Structure 1
Amino acid sequence: MQERYSRQMLFSGIGEEGQALLQNKHVLVIGAGALGTGNAEILARSGVGTITIADRDYVEWSNLQRQQLYTEEDARNHMPKAIAAKKRLETINSDVKINAHIVDITPLEMEQFVHGIDLIIDATDNFDIRMIMNDISQKYAIPWIYGSIVASYGVSFTVIPGSSPCLHCLMEDVPIGGMTCDTGGVISPVVQLVVAHQTAEALKILTENWEYVRRELISFDLWTNQHASINVSKVKKAACSSCGPEATYPFLTYENKTKTAVLCGRDTVQIRPAANEQRDLEAIAASLSKLGKVEKNGFLLQFKTGENRMVMFKDGRVLVHGTNDEVKAKSLYHKFLG
């Protein structure tokens, strides 16, 4: 079977020794959308021994433009993304063990998944999960690779516990709001470029070529031809509660995660963001108006999507009407409100 990897082994950075390392490594991919499918396919084709995929969603027609493991049949059958990805990856490389989990990631799931993991790949679509991922990475000293896309813009950064700044150092607090793929769209080439950066760093880490791991934050806009490589080493904060010497891992606690509650007798789920922050309802309304009817006053805005109606207040609290399913409500919240 070494013939399968012969061209990769001819590359001096990997060779026979690196290939043997890859076959004994375990990567956790959080999210099975555009970045998740791209990362998982390259890692499977590269011969990584075990890949665990966790995703809460199912395949929709709008996914097929950029999520490379899925087919029209998957969309017709509303196949869970993790299961559809596992099925496809096993036809690509039967030597790789694929674990699939249909799950909404919380600190509990992350604690269960990380044991025996060598690397975590960020392929999710919201900062709640990213900050959980960040704290888990620091707690168990597991490197992770951040990646994000929207419109024609992409960004990637590799977090090495004990060495690089963590995402909390860079962000200070969980960003609230902002454009998403569902409000700003996304073009497929930006997916491929972020995946290329993530998987290149993954191969370096998994083959233990630490000296070549990129230490800068990479960002680019393929449409406007902008590219930046930012040295963020000085951003590392000695007192960071996620990666400092007295780390408390705040995003693994209940207080610092998005909270959901079913409102009694109302077929409604209330969602409260991890941090209270005044929201710019005018900007959000402008973004959502491209997707459907938006009504607003000085205190809240309403947005109708399918059978659900979402009401957002200035403090970031959202009521998702038309469901008592908390997982579905959270999915709509992150899909449209970031």
Structure 2
Amino acid sequence: MKDRYSRQTLFKPIGEAGQNKIGQKHVLIIGCGALGSPNAETLVRAGIGKLTIIDRDYVEFSNLQRQQLFTEKDAIDQMPKVIAAKKRLTAINSSVEIETHIMDATSQSLEPLLKDVDLVIDATDNFDIRFLMNDLLQKLAIPWIFGSCVSSMGMSYTILPKETPCLQCLLDTIPVSGATCDSVGIISPAVQMVVAHQSTEALKLLVEDEHALRTKLVTFDLWNNHYQTINVERAKKEACPTCGAEPSYKYLTYGAQTKMEVLCGRNTVQIRPNREIHLDDLANRLQKIAPIKTNDFLLSMEYRSCRIVFFQDGRALIHGTNSVEKAKSVYYQLVG
């Protein structure tokens, strides 16, 4: 076991001192899909002290092309991603403390999990959550690493509160395409390239080598052989509502939080109710309507040309529609 990290400690910027620091740090990854699962694996193999993973979804066959921690059995069983990931990650390195949460990322759910976190890695698939993260992590002064990919393209940037431009500043300066993996597809190497940038920056922060951090926004298109780094220092705005002189953190307010959300490109609506749902009670009622499938974490069924998945935290995914009204109708017919 003493040789486990020998190749990593031979790398002078890390060394024994850096390895000891890595083993004492706590990283939180928001999202356990294409970006989240390989970032998690890299950190676990590197000997991170504690890893917390948050994800609201479960494994589907379309994930297997690029989400490396999952298997066909995970998809057949509709296993929540964080549960499948923890099983695999523990088999890789049993000495790492791994904490998982099957939940939607909201300011209320995230903030208690950030008390002793040293770094957050963005592995989400939508900007609603990213803007919430941007506000919350600026407020708590926790560094985080942005990452995004679609088609053969990707980008990444390391955000240091009080020092660098925040995500709001960046997106006011550099427009982001509205394309999604479901509309234009994605190749796995694009995912791996973003992860390589994110996980390398993470290691720099974990060993406290901030002088080595990449200070520019990186963007690339692997298929068309484009690679660019952009100096964004001037993007930082004094009047920014997140990182400016008088921040308002508007994305942390109740009114700004999505309760019903069309999941971009997935033909799915997520409903997050303001009350608890007990899956056992729900199963007893719904099995009278249509066949149901359950595991320890969720319940699913087919109804009115939709596939509905209920989670323990009360959320429901209504697959087969982008209409919030139809999703609400289906949900209330089943739940009341």
TM-score by length of 2: 0.79
Check 1:85–1:168 CA distance in 2 against 1; reply closer, same or farther (3 A cut).
Answer: same
Aligned partner of 2:288 in structure 1 is none
Is 1:24 aligned with 2:56? Answer: no
What letter corresponds to residue 169 of structure 1 in structure 2?
C
Contact 2:120 2:144 in 1 (8 A): yes
Among candidates 296, 309, 316, match of residue 321 of structure 2: 309
What letter corresponds to residue 192 of structure 1 in structure 2?
Q
3-state DSSP of counterpart to 1:4: coil
Aligned partner of 2:164 in structure 1 is 164
3-state DSSP of counterpart to 2:146: strand
Stretch moving more, 6-15 or 103-112:
103-112
What letter corresponds to residue 126 of structure 1 in structure 2?
N
Is 1:323 aligned with 2:330? Answer: yes
Cα deviation for residue 323 of structure 1 reads 3.4
Cα distance in 1 between the residues matched to 2:122 and 2:325: 28
What letter corresponds to residue 104 of structure 1 in structure 2?
D
Cα deviation for residue 136 of structure 1 reads 1.4
Q: Deviations along 1:197-223, whole A, 9 cap, x unmatched?
A: 000000000000000111100000011
Check 1:176–1:208 CA distance in 2 against 1; reply closer, same or farther (3 A cut).
Answer: closer
Cα distance in 1 between the residues matched to 2:172 and 2:105: 22
Contact 2:269 2:322 in 1 (8 A): no
TM-score by length of 1: 0.79
Is 1:148 aligned with 2:148? Answer: yes
Give the RMSD, CA atoms, in angstroms. 2.3
Check 1:138–1:90 CA distance in 2 against 1; reply closer, same or farther (3 A cut).
Answer: same
Stretch moving more, 177-186 or 223-232:
177-186
Aligned partner of 1:181 in structure 2 is 181
Cα distance in 1 between the residues matched to 2:40 and 2:88: 10
Q: Deviations along 1:232-269, whole A, 9 cap, x unmatched?
A: 000000111111121121111123233429xxxxxx97
Check 1:119–1:230 CA distance in 2 against 1; reply closer, same or farther (3 A cut).
Answer: same
Contact 2:107 2:132 in 1 (8 A): yes
Aligned partner of 1:70 in structure 2 is 70
Is 1:195 aligned with 2:207? Answer: no
3-state DSSP of counterpart to 2:98: strand
Cα distance in 2 between the residues matched to 1:14 and 1:71: 33
What letter corresponds to residue 322 of structure 2 in structure 1?
M
3-state DSSP of counterpart to 1:310: coil
Cα distance in 2 between the residues matched to 1:84 and 1:251: 31
3-state DSSP of counterpart to 1:324: helix
Contact 1:24 1:48 in 2 (8 A): yes
Aligned partner of 1:42 in structure 2 is 42
Cα distance in 2 between the residues matched to 1:134 and 1:225: 31
Structure 2 residue runs of 5 or longer lacking an equivalent are 262-267, 272-304, 308-318
Cα deviation for residue 143 of structure 1 reads 0.3
Cα distance in 1 between the residues matched to 2:179 and 2:64: 20
Aligned partner of 2:301 in structure 1 is none
Aligned partner of 2:9 in structure 1 is 9
Cα deviation for residue 305 of structure 1 reads 7.2
Cα distance in 2 between the residues matched to 1:178 and 1:101: 28
Cα distance in 1 between the residues matched to 2:270 and 2:32: 26
Cα deviation for residue 176 of structure 1 reads 9.6
Aligned partner of 1:331 in structure 2 is none
What letter corresponds to residue 246 of structure 2 in structure 1?
E
3-state DSSP of counterpart to 1:147: strand
> After superposition, where does 1:199-238 map in structure 2 within 5 Å?
199-238=199-238
Contact 1:269 1:323 in 2 (8 A): no
What letter corresponds to residue 3 of structure 1 in structure 2?
D
What letter corresponds to residue 194 of structure 1 in structure 2?
V
Is 1:126 aligned with 2:126? Answer: yes
What letter corresponds to residue 131 of structure 2 in structure 1?
M
3-state DSSP of counterpart to 1:243: coil
Check 1:253–1:172 CA distance in 2 against 1; reply closer, same or farther (3 A cut).
Answer: farther
Structure 1 residue runs of 5 or longer lacking an equivalent are 262-267, 272-303, 312-317, 326-338
Cα deviation for residue 324 of structure 1 reads 1.7
Cα deviation for residue 117 of structure 1 reads 0.2
What letter corresponds to residue 309 of structure 1 in structure 2?
T
Cα distance in 2 between the residues matched to 1:11 and 1:184: 39
Is 1:258 aligned with 2:258? Answer: yes
Aligned partner of 1:103 in structure 2 is 103
Cα deviation for residue 171 of structure 1 reads 1.8
3-state DSSP of counterpart to 2:94: coil
Cα distance in 2 between the residues matched to 1:64 and 1:57: 14
Alignment: residue pair count: 281
State the identity as a percent: 55
Cα deviation for residue 67 of structure 1 reads 0.2
3-state DSSP of counterpart to 2:35: helix
Contact 2:269 2:321 in 1 (8 A): no
What letter corresponds to residue 201 of structure 1 in structure 2?
E
Contact 1:135 1:252 in 2 (8 A): yes
